[in-house]
């Protein structure tokens, strides 16, 4: 048995196209970069509008300052996300021509929807950012209000396409393996869409909320305990605090849904090796693909069966029932990423409960140093969880690019040179990431300096028309003309 | 006229819009790069900065639209193009990242050294992307992209005389267009020296562009006679219109007719793009794959057309709103954003 597994796996590795590893690495890297920016495009506009609303309703300049600054952070991350998103659309063809060649007309439509949603969001974001000084307060707010909803349409489209790869729909496989009876609308509304979309959108709100809050928690820890920091913590943290328990429920549903709909992924997440009842929950540990066993780790007896079906007697299929060539190519990565995601989620639920109790009792940010330290790292932790979740869904689907229908290795480009492009992308994105963080930090430092003289109020009256006289050339700062 | 023809029309439209909105931006990067270092290049560069560079790289929306429509409507052609032309299209993406990163970040790269580096990368990207996209187009036109995953030659498909001249032509057209815009802007702002500076460059770029256009036709004649015959036979009127319209842009710029200038530029670029589209019709990949053969499911084609109609209805008003607010002076740069405003007095109203 062991020998036969080995023969099969050797055969698989030998048959693997040369471009598969670099192509998967490049796709994974660029997606993991892009996904950092996504919550800032999807959820940060909502935070900024909440602050904007508060500021206008209560005539609160501090809330308006927060809204204004968050809008600029959102604008910057949006622009960088536009770049990394353009690269992803190149990569769909550069790396996976087999996928777009064969299934483009089945699952391509949501990308067209996303393109329009993105364009609309870009226009609205530009109006919002450039409207701070001259537009009337409420006009400005109402023009900004559609942004989070348009962002949801974009998220819906991309998640729909990814969900389709997990639960392909909207076609039947023809005699030569070609898709026939194509129905692109059925492909959009595939089975995995509702839960995957909910899981991702709530995660985006958690990430944006915890990340923005953590920046002000750091300031709070350094002793800047003013109203600006207090609001800067309370608004985003409250949003994240509402999202976190919702996520716990959604995450639990999605795991049980996977057990029935994508068993191989579920088995890799939970490293269930042998079918049977009374399955333990294994935390970490190391899976050995050759022997299909797990060594090390902590086992909680019966918990996996209990979580899957509500009782210890629940029968759970094991990886031994999945043919070796159809098992996720790296069970350890999937399992570890899953445990990390769940671990962080559990920690965050605790943090949110603490916040809720403290706020209910004193209407303020909790005083405890421990709370503040964990809250300061909650943003980074949420991002780690998002990346881990993305790894679970993507690596867990392998070796399939279209689940149970098309293998990733059959769709990869046959053009040489993916290693080169991967290395270039690696270097370039590292530079881009460093530059983005540097600029965001420079913005925040500048704001700190300006805090004493933060340009009067937004929505100021329009200045008198400037004199008609032509400007003499361009001045030192590079601005010219009226 | 089938739905697939309609979707192919959308593709040509996307290329047109991308060329019209993007070429001048790339040209601006070209002049930024060649303006010379430090003090010498400061003034032209400052004008380029304020005039040509938009808020962010909105024009790539058209490129994404082109890609997405292509892989949804004509998946086989898309996969074949992206895999055979892997190298130039990867390089084009590289250029887009370099430019885009610079756009997103340059306002805040206040330090002179870092700004210089940013400008340099911006310039490299501005030449690389239009060249590679032009070269890729040349590869398709000269029938070097057969259907299939990397079925064509990885190098000869874009490193051939036709591809190279078309790539250079794209760079020259961008340089010409942006120089023409800059002439008009310098005139409008009352900067006679910069006006002369960019007029000179517009003339040179225009002449180089004409020479490259002729060279591209010559290369095509020896390289792919069938396509040459189609270009000359079917599209000669478009070539004439394109060249005349682009020449008109120069005259408009010299007289300061800004609106006429923009219309003439759009007509000129569009005519040259359609020179290619008309010549290549009905082939997606000359001369192996026609639009009908390469079209995906008809239902998907119809949904693409329907979605395009929805997009017009949704985006049209939004763009009009943006334009109206901008014209009424309601949209101004927020001093909270940019580092450069910190050094200058904030233009506040009589508050």
Q: Give residue limits of the domains in chain B.
A: 3-294
Nearest CA to A12 out of A321, A325, A396, A288 is that of A325
* B54 pLDDT tier (thresholds 50, 70, 90): low
Looking at residue A471, its pLDDT comes to 37
Angstrom distance (rounded) from CA A169 to CA A185: 9
Tell whether the model's pLDDT for residue B347 goes beyond 70: no
Angstrom distance (rounded) from CA A90 to CA A70: 30
Question: What are the domain boundaries of chain A?
Answer: 18-259+328-450
Interchain contact, B71 vs A104, CB within 8 Å:
yes
Interchain contact, A112 vs B69, CB within 8 Å:
yes
- Inter-residue contact A97 to B80 (CB < 8 Å): yes
Residue-wise pLDDT for B99-138, tens only, equals 877 766 666 555 555 667 777 888 899 999 999 999 999 9
ipTM of the assembly?
A: 0.90
Looking at residue B350, its pLDDT comes to 32
Residue-wise pLDDT for A382-441, tens only, equals 999 999 999 999 999 988 999 989 999 999 998 888 999 999 999 988 888 888 888 888
Looking at residue A475, its pLDDT comes to 37
Looking at residue A15, its pLDDT comes to 66
Mean pLDDT taken over chain A? 86
Looking at residue B307, its pLDDT comes to 92
Distance from CA of A209 to the nearest CA of B (A): 22
Interchain contact, A413 vs B333, CB within 8 Å:
no
* A90 pLDDT tier (thresholds 50, 70, 90): very high
Mean pLDDT of B304-319: 91
Range scoring the smallest mean pLDDT among A75-84, A413-422, A466-475:
A466-475
Mean pLDDT of A282-308: 86
- Inter-residue contact B206 to B174 (CB < 8 Å): no
Chain A from 65 to 84: CB within 8 A of any B CB: 68-69, 72, 75-76, 79-80, 82-84
Query: B79 to chain A: which residues are within 8 Å by CB?
Result: 93, 97-101, 104
pTM of the prediction? Answer: 0.89
Interchain contact, B334 vs A124, CB within 8 Å:
no
- Inter-residue contact B69 to A112 (CB < 8 Å): yes
Note the maximum CA span of chain B. Answer: 69
In sequence order, what are the residues at sequence separation of 6 or more whose Cβ sits closer than 8 angstroms to the Cβ of residue A297? A282, A283, A284, A285, A286
Mean pLDDT of A162-168: 95
Interchain contact, A85 vs B300, CB within 8 Å:
no
Nearest CA to B323 out of B62, B16, B58, B4 is that of B58
Nearest CA in chain B to A71: B337
Looking at residue A462, its pLDDT comes to 47
Q: Does A427 touch chain B (CB under 8 A)?
A: no
Could you tell me the two tokens for A314? Answer: 């629940």
Residues in chain B: 351
Interface test with B, best of A81, A129, A133 (most B CBs within 10 A): A133
Looking at residue B100, its pLDDT comes to 79
Interface test with B, best of A74, A116, A427, A460 (most B CBs within 10 A): A116
Interchain contact, A115 vs B68, CB within 8 Å:
yes
Mean pLDDT taken over chain B? 85
Looking at residue B243, its pLDDT comes to 94
Of B87, B149, B296, the CB nearest to A104: B296
Tell whether the model's pLDDT for residue A6 goes beyond 80: no
* A52 pLDDT tier (thresholds 50, 70, 90): very high
Tell whether the model's pLDDT for residue A22 goes beyond 70: yes
Angstrom distance (rounded) from CA B108 to CA A313: 61
> What SS3 string covers A158-218?
HHHHHHHHHCCCCCEECCCCCEECCCHHHHHCCCCHHHHHHHHHHHHHHHHHHHHHHHHHH
Residue-wise pLDDT for B139-166, tens only, equals 999 999 999 998 999 999 999 999 999 9
Query: B110 to chain A: which residues are within 8 Å by CB?
Result: 442
- Inter-residue contact A319 to A272 (CB < 8 Å): yes
Looking at residue B53, its pLDDT comes to 54
Tell whether the model's pLDDT for residue A474 goes beyond 50: no
* A54 pLDDT tier (thresholds 50, 70, 90): very high
Query: Exposure of A10 by Cβ count < 10 A (0-12 exposed, 13-18 middle, 19+ buried)?
Result: exposed
Looking at residue A7, its pLDDT comes to 47
Looking at residue B12, its pLDDT comes to 95
Distance from CA of B214 to the nearest CA of A (A): 31
Q: Does A468 touch chain B (CB under 8 A)?
A: no
Q: What SS3 state is found at A299?
A: strand
| Distance in Å from the first CA to the final CA of chain A | 80
Transcribe B276-327 into DSSP letters: HHHHHTTEEETTTEEHHHH---HHHHHHHHHHHHHHHHHHHHHHHHHHHHHH
Query: A106 to chain B: which residues are within 8 Å by CB?
Result: 297, 300
Mean pLDDT of A131-140: 88
Could you tell me the two tokens for A69? Answer: 């600054």
User: In chain B, what percentage of residues exceed pLDDT 90?
Assistant: 52
Q: Which CATH class is domain B3-294?
A: mainly alpha
């Amino acid at each position: 048995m062991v020998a036969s597994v080995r023969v099969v796996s050797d055969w698989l590795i030998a048959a693997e196209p040369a471009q598969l590893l670099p192509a998967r690495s490049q796709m994974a890297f660029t997606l993991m970069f892009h996904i950092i920016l996504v919550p800032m495009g999807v959820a940060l506009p909502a935070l900024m509008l909440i602050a904007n609303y508060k500021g206008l309703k209560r005539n609160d300049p501090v809330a308006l300052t927060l809204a204004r600054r968050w809008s600029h952070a959102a604008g910057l991350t949006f622009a960088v996300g536009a770049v990394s998103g353009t690269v992803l659309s190149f990569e769909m063809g550069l790396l996976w021509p087999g996928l777009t060649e064969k299934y483009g007309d089945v699952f391509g439509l949501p990308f067209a929807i996303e393109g329009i949603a993105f364009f609309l969001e870009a226009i609205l974001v530009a109006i919002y950012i450039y409207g701070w000084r001259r537009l009337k307060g409420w006009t400005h707010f109402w023009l900004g209000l559609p942004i989070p909803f348009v962002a949801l349409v974009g998220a819906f489209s991309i998640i729909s396409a990814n969900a389709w790869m997990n639960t392909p729909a909207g076609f039947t496989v023809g005699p030569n393996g070609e898709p026939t009876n194509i129905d692109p609308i059925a492909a959009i509304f595939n089975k995995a869409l509702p839960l995957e979309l909910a899981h991702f959108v709530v995660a985006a709100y958690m990430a944006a909320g915890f990340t923005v809050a953590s920046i002000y928690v750091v300031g709070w820890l350094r002793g800047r305990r003013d109203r600006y920091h207090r609001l800067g913590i309370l608004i985003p943290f409250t949003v994240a605090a509402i999202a976190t328990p919702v996520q716990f429920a959604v995450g639990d549903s999605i795991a049980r849904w996977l057990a029935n709909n994508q068993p191989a992924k579920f088995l890799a997440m939970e490293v269930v090796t042998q079918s049977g009842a009374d399955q333990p929950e294994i935390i970490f540990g190391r899976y050995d693909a050759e022997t299909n066993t797990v060594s090390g780790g902590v086992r909680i007896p019966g918990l996996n069966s209990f979580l899957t079906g509500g009782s210890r007697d629940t029968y759970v299929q094991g990886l031994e029932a999945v043919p070796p060539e159809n098992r996720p190519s790296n069970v350890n990565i999937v399992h570890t990423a899953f445990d990390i995601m769940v671990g962080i989620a559990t920690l965050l639920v605790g943090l949110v409960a603490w916040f809720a109790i403290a706020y209910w009792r004193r209407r303020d940010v909790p005083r405890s140093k421990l709370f503040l330290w964990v809250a300061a790292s909650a943003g980074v932790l949420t991002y780690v969880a998002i990346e881990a979740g993305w790894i679970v869904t993507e690596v867990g689907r392998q070796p399939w690019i279209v689940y149970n229908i098309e293998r990733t290795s059959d769709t990869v480009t046959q053009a040489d040179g993916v290693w080169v492009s991967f290395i270039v992308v690696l270097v370039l994105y590292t530079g881009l990431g460093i530059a983005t963080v540097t600029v965001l930090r420079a913005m925040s430092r500048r704001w700190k300096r300006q805090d004493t003289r933060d340009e009067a109020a937004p929505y100021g009256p329009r200045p008198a028309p400037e004199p008609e006289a032509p400007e003499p050339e361009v001045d030192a700062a590079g601005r010219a003309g009226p | 006229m089938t739905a697939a023809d309609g979707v192919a029309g959308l593709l040509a439209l996307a290329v047109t819009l991308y060329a019209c909105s993007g070429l001048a931006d790339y040209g601006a990067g070209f002049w930024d790069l060649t303006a010379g270092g430090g003090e010498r290049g400061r003034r032209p560069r400052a004008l380029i900065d304020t005039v040509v560079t938009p808020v962010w790289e909105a024009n790539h929306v058209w490129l994404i639209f082109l890609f997405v429509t292509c892989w949804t409507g004509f998946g086989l052609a898309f996969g074949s193009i992206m895999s055979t032309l892997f190298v130039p299209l990867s390089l084009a993406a590289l250029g887009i990242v370099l430019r885009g990163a610079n756009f997103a970040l340059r306002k805040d790269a206040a330090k002179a050294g870092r700004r210089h580096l940013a400008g340099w990368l911006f310039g490299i990207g501005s030449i690389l992307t239009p060249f590679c996209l032009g070269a890729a187009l040349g590869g398709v036109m000269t029938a070097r992209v057969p259907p299939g995953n990397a079925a064509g030659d990885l190098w000869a498909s874009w490193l051939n005389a036709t591809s190279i001249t078309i790539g250079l032509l794209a760079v020259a057209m961008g340089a010409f267009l942006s120089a023409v815009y800059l002439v008009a802007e310098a005139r409008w702002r009352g900067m006679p020296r910069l006006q002369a500076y960019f007029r000179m460059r517009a003339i040179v770029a225009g002449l180089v562009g004409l020479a490259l256009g002729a060279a591209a036709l010559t290369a095509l004649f020896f390289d792919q006679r069938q396509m040459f015959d189609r270009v000359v036979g079917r599209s000669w009127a478009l070539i004439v219109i394109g060249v005349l319209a682009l020449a008109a842009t120069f005259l408009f710029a010299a007289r300061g007719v800004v609106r006429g200038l923009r219309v003439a530029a759009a007509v000129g670029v569009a005519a040259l793009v359609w020179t290619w589209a008309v010549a290549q019709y009905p082939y997606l990949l000359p001369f192996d794959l026609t639009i009908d053969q390469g079209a995906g499911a008809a239902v998907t084609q119809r949904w693409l057309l329907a979605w395009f109609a929805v997009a017009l209805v949704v985006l049209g008003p939004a763009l009009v709103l943006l334009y109206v607010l901008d014209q009424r002076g309601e949209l101004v740069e927020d001093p909270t954003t940019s580092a450069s405003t910190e050094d200058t007095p904030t233009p506040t109203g009589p508050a």
